Amino acid sequence: MEVGLILVVLVILALLGAASSVRVVQQFEHGIVFRFGQVQRGGQLRAGAVRRPGLTFIIPIMERMQKVNQQTVTMNVPAQEGITQDNVSVRVDAVVYFRVVDPVKAIVNVQNYGYAVSQIGQTSLRSVIGQTDMQELLGEREKINIRLRAIMDEITDAPWGVRIERVEIKDVSLPEGMKRSMARQAEAERERRARIITADGEFQASKRLAAAAEIMSQDPGALQLRLLQTVVEVSAEKNSTLVMPLPVELLRFFDRMTDGGKGTAAGAEASEQEKPGLGERLARAEEELAKAAEAPSTLESAQNVPPVIGLDEPKPAKDEATRGLAAGERTPPEGGA
């Protein structure tokens, strides 16, 4: 009876020992086996210290296995406040993607590699903020991401066996005053461009109008046709506007009557003889229009806008000399009455 009881106890102990020695390592894990607390022996990794995914066995009491996850871990870096190189206060947060490439170093060389990577991310983010200006922080994030990854990977890869795969800056928060200043700056820039474009359009339109007036002045019939076209445009709208066309020849008749006789008529005939023909003037006007269309805009930027005398530049020396001369004339000579 006692022998049977002993056998039952031994069988139970054997089953418990076998159950405690069986381990299952998942596909995304590696198992690190410590034998009497050692992974390395003689400065080298002990055989069987790293177990691959699948079913494995360890010796109870003598060995202990710790599993290491080798999946890519996504970790948020808390928002860090800092001052950029151009003295602007910003608040930046980021996200770090990393994974374990050497499970032995990740377990042996650092106590908690996740917490260590988080601290490295915060300190590196503060350091990079202080070395960049606001414009680069807002418009060139890819360069900053690469710089952050290089700084963090240099610290974590070789000593800890943790590889930083990617670092991304999520958000850059600016003070409200800085946001309003940037909005005003952008609005002023758009207003400047709008004014320059409007001025350039008026400048080109004045050239076209001058060329059109030059062509129409050569033939009174052209002015009359333009007048009739204006009447048609006005009459197309339903309004109560009354237009009374006045022949242009009538105005020319009164103009001749007020010239003052034959001398003026002779001068007019001489000027008519000196004036080039209609075909020549039409060709000249078309050439001027082509040149105006091909010529670049003279008001492309604020630097090309002509300066205002008295505001943008000092008055010419000629005006200063004239004003000094006038002041000298008003000043009585020495010793005078």
Confidence band, pLDDT 50/70/90 cuts, at residue 337: very low
Hey, is 80 helix, strand or coil?
Answer: strand
Tokens 């032995």 correspond to what residue?
104
pLDDT at residue 327, as a whole number: 46
The CA-to-CA distance between both ends of the chain, in Å, stands at: 155
Confidence band, pLDDT 50/70/90 cuts, at residue 313: very low
Confidence band, pLDDT 50/70/90 cuts, at residue 321: very low
| Cα dihedral 243, 249, 252, 258 in deg (nearest 10) | -90
pLDDT at residue 134, as a whole number: 85
Q: What is the pLDDT of residues 175-223, one digit of tens each?
A: 888 778 888 888 898 999 999 999 888 888 888 887 777 777 777 677 7
pLDDT for 263 beyond 60: no
Q: What is the pTM of this model?
A: 0.55
In this structure, of 28-42, 65-79, 219-233, 285-299, the range with the lowest mean pLDDT score is: 285-299
Mean pLDDT of 270-299: 64
Q: What is the pLDDT of residues 81-102, one digit of tens each?
A: 888 888 888 889 999 999 999 8
Q: Residues 39, 43, 45, CA angle at the centre, nearest 5°?
A: 40
pLDDT for 330 beyond 60: no
Confidence band, pLDDT 50/70/90 cuts, at residue 122: very high
- For the record, the structure tokens of 318 come out as 């000629």
Average pLDDT, the chain: 76
pLDDT at residue 167, as a whole number: 92
Q: Which of 44-48, 67-71, 230-234, 322-326 ranks highest by mean pLDDT?
A: 67-71
What is the rounded distance in angstroms from the CA atom of residue 102 to the CA atom of residue 105?
6
> In this predicted model, which residue has the larger pLDDT, 290 or 114?
114
pLDDT for 237 beyond 50: yes
What is the rounded distance in angstroms from the CA atom of residue 96 to the CA atom of residue 74?
6
Q: In which order are the strands placed within the sheet that holds 162-173? A: 73-83, 89-100, 162-173
Residue 87 — left, alpha, or beta (φ > 0 → left; ψ -120 to 50 → alpha)?
A: left
